[in-house]
């Protein structure tokens, strides 16, 4: 059962402080490890913070040993009431730089408050002095954590922003674009084949809905099972699969919805307009995030879309 902080002895407070400094140092080391490849400058800051936490632990241990001997009772943050449960963000891969910085800020704030409370509870002058010194250091750490972005040079910040953009493109834009292209283009043939074969808006809508959902499920599984993202840096398989599947379904449903209109000719014209918008959006995304020239992107997308569209009309009219 977790104990109340006010019931801890001086010996237990020092033991807890040693445990907290060790845990914080290991968390900062994990942050540095998770960010080193993509954000080396921020990783270096976390490495430095880990070294400082190790120094704090050594100072606490020396004071503890001089006062209470060699044995340190096992007392962790989860053994004392009042500590916030931490989500293990340091284990996440890929690690988001904003999450790491925010977590560091909260950690320093919590440790500083711990030292403030501990100082009011101990009576030994040497222990109070050490705790006061560490509280001041943690205050500076908190300020440094809050200003971590500002402590990085503009060139490094630009490089980190570019790295973050590349990860966003790799983990979100690419799978989403693949799904949108597949859903928007591949479902054209069955939707418009059904429309021209039956001249019924309702039949075209049902075929389009089934094709869109089926394609979304298929693409979601295909993307999620393609690789685990560890070697490629493409992120979590479940997230990629969900993005791909949702965008595939959205791409197909977009030009299916107009067939809710009862008048077949009006529905057909509306669907053609939606298809044009979908292809234009795909071309813009390819130009914006994949650095494909706009005219080239538009040509590639339009040619593919027109071919599939023509095949659907041809089959539906035969």
pLDDT in tens, 156-214: 555 555 656 666 777 788 888 888 888 888 888 888 888 888 888 898 899 989 989 99
Statement: residue 297 has pLDDT above 60: yes
Residues whose CB falls within 8 Å of the CB of residue 126, separated by 6 or more in sequence, listed in order: 63, 67
Q: How many residues does the chain have?
A: 318
The β-bridge partners of 80 are 3
CB 27 within 8 A of CB 41: no
pLDDT band at 64 (very low <50, low <70, confident <90, very high): very high
Does residue 22 register a pLDDT over 90?
A: yes
Q: Which of 311, 307, 274, 277 is nearest to 196 (CA)?
A: 311
CATH homologous superfamily for the domain 5-152: Ferritin, core subunit, four-helix bundle (1.20.1260.10)
Return the minimum-mean-pLDDT range out of 1-10, 14-23, 227-236: 227-236
- 100 exposure class (CB count in 10 Å sphere: 0-12, 13-18, 19+): buried
Q: What is the pLDDT of residues 232-289, one digit of tens each?
A: 456 678 888 888 889 999 988 988 999 999 898 899 899 889 988 988 888 888 888 7
Instruction: Give pLDDT, residue 33.
Output: 92
Q: What is the pLDDT of residues 65-76, one digit of tens each?
A: 998 999 999 999
What six digits make up the tokens of 223?
Answer: 């993307």
> Please, what is the Cα angle at 81 between 73 and 28, to 5 degrees?
70
231 C-beta neighbours (distance < 10 Å), count: 7
Residue 286 and residue 165 in contact, taking contact as beta carbons nearer than 8 Å: no
Residue 259 in contact with residue 271, Cβ under 8 Å?
yes
Contact 255, 184 (CB under 8 A): yes
Q: Quick one: which H or E segment has residue 76?
A: none
Contact by Cβ (8 Å): 182, 215: yes
Q: Where are the domains of the chain?
A: 5-152, 160-317
pLDDT score, position 199: 87
Burial classification of residue 210, based on how many CB atoms lie within 10 Å of its CB (0-12 exposed, 13-18 middle, 19 or more buried): middle
pTM: 0.52
């Amino acid at each position: 059962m977790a104990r109340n902080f006010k019931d801890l002895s001086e010996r237990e407070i020092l033991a807890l402080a040693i445990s907290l400094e060790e845990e914080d140092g290991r968390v900062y080391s994990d942050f540095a490890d998770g960010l080193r490849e993509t954000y080396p400058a921020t990783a270096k800051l976390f490495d430095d913070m880990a070294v400082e936490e190790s120094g704090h632990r050594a100072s606490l241990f020396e004071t503890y040993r001089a006062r209470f001997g060699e044995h340190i009772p096992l007392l962790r943050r989860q053994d004392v009431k009042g500590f916030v449960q931490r989500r293990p963000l340091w284990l996440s891969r890929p690690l988001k730089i904003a999450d790491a910085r925010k977590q560091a800020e909260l950690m320093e704030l919590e440790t500083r408050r711990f030292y403030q409370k501990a100082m009011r509870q101990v009576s030994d002058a040497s222990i109070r002095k050490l705790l006061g010194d560490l509280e001041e250091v943690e205050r500076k750490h908190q300020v440094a954590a809050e200003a971590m972005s500002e402590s990085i040079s503009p060139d490094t910040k630009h490089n980190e922003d570019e790295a973050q953009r590349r990860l966003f493109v790799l983990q979100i834009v690419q799978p989403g674009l693949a799904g949108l292209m597949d859903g928007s283009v591949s479902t054209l043939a069955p939707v418009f084949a059904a429309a021209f074969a039956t001249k019924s808006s309702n039949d075209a809508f049902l075929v389009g809905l089934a094709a869109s959902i089926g394609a979304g499920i298929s693409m979601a599984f295909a993307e999620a099972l393609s690789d685990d993202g560890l070697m490629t840096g493409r992120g979590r398989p479940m997230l990629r699969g969900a993005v791909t599947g949702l965008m595939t379904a959205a791409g197909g449903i977009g030009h299916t919805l107009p067939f809710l209109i009862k008048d077949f000719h009006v529905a057909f014209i509306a669907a053609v307009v939606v298809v044009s918008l979908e292809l234009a959006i795909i071309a813009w995304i390819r130009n914006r995030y994949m650095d494909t020239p706009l005219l080239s992107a538009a040509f590639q997308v339009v040619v593919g879309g027109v071919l599939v569209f023509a095949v659907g009309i041809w089959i539906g009219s035969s």
